A and B are shown apart, each in its own frame.
Chain A
Amino acid sequence: KAGVTQTPRYLIKTRGQQVTLSCSPISGHRSVSWYQQTPGQGLQFLFEYFSETQRNKGNFPGRFSGRQFSNSRSEMNVSTLELGDSALYLCASSPTTGNEKLFFGSGTQLSVL
């Protein structure tokens, strides 16, 4: 089976712009979670989607949003980018909701200038 695929691998944006990141889960996995990873804060949970519905949400501002499609693929969007949004954004999939045994992609490295 192919693993979790995230695109793009790298992104450079400027403050105020918006960005959309994409994630394709492992075939058959219906749950997709997003995490932000920074050197200072570690891995921070953003949100989880299961069957196109957001099930859990972390403590991030409304500028961070996501969605899941019927084929389980997911996107996350960050609007009005700030310098502090620079991070590695990781997507993880699992067969069912509940987040046990997450399978992570390699992430999208976002740099905000």
Chain B
Amino acid sequence: GESVGLHLPTLSVQEGDNSIINCAYSNSASDYFIWYKQESGKGPQFIIDIRSNMDKRQGQRVTVLLNKTVKHLSLQIAATQPGDSAVYFCAQGEAGNMLTFGGGTRLMVKP
């Protein structure tokens, strides 16, 4: 089946630094990609999404980059804060089908 994977299972950054979380995907037919954040004891929370016809999208302190040539997705978090500590999942989807989630990357922010 299709898969979505992550390069790094754990990322440790200093508070105030920028964080970059990477994701590789295999389904080139995906219409959209989504990043979710999951804090301990909670369900995944939507962060930002990007359509397959875009290569960059910005939100509040977050930027998602999509490189379809190498099937790579990244989430950049500016000025990382302790509240950003969580597990981050990338997910890909096609219209009418369910989302496929990656394995997750744990982001640890050091004060």
Contacts and interface: CB of A to CB of B under 8 A. Distances in A.
Interface of A: 4, 33, 35, 42-43, 45, 48, 56, 58-59, 90, 92, 97-107
A45 B44 contact: no
Interface string B39-75: 0011111100100000000000000000000000000
15 contacts: A42-B89, A42-B101, A42-B102, A42-B104, A43-B44, A43-B101, A45-B98, A56-B98, A58-B98, A59-B1, A98-B95, A99-B99, A102-B99, A103-B46, A106-B42
A4 B32 contact: no
Q: Interface SS of chain B: helix, strand, loop or mixed?
A: loop
A9 to B, nearest CB: 9
Contacts of A105: 43
Given A56-B98, A98-B97, A104-B45, 4 more contacts: A43-B44, A90-B43, A98-B93, A99-B93
A107 B43 contact: yes
A42 B99 CA distance: 13
B33 to A, nearest CB: 11
B89 to A, nearest CB: 7
A56 B97 contact: yes
A99 B98 contact: yes
Interface string B68-111: 00000000000000000000010001011111111110000000
